[in-house]
Homo-oligomer: A and B are copies of this chain.
Amino acid sequence: MQLSSLEQEFVLHFGEMGSRWGINRTVGQIYALLFLSDQPLNAEQIVEKLGFSRSNVSMGLKELQAWNLVRLKHIPDDRRDYFSAPDDLWEIVRTLVAERKKREIDPTLTKLRELEMQTPSNESDVHAHSKISDLRELIELLTGWHDDMNRLETERLVQLLALGSKLQKFAAKAETIVPFKRAPKELQS
Contacts and interface: CB of A to CB of B under 8 A. Distances in A.
Contact of A104 (B6, B17, B180): B17
8 contacts: A10-B115, A13-B108, A21-B21, A36-B124, A36-B131, A89-B134, A89-B187, A159-B180
Interface stretch (A50-58, A59-67, A75-83, A148-156): A148-156
Nearest to A156: B168
Copy tally for this chain in the complex stands at 2
Nearest to A132: B10
A93 interface: yes
A36 to B, nearest CB: 5
A4 B88 contact: no
Interface in A19-73: 20-22, 35-38
A127 B130 CA distance: 53
Interface of A: 4-7, 9-10, 13, 17, 20-22, 35-38, 86-91, 93, 103-104, 107-108, 111, 115, 118, 120-122, 124-125, 127-129, 131-132, 134-135, 138, 141-142, 144-145, 148-149, 151-152, 154-156, 158-168, 170-175, 178, 180, 182-184, 186-189
Nearest 6 interchain pairs by C-beta: A148-B164, A170-B170, A148-B165, A87-B189, A145-B161, A36-B128
Contacts of A36: 124, 127-128, 131-132
A165 B152 contact: yes
Contacts of A154: 186
Nearest to A168: B156
Given A89-B138, A159-B168, A160-B167, 8 more contacts: A7-B124, A21-B22, A21-B104, A148-B164, A155-B183, A158-B182, A159-B172, A159-B180
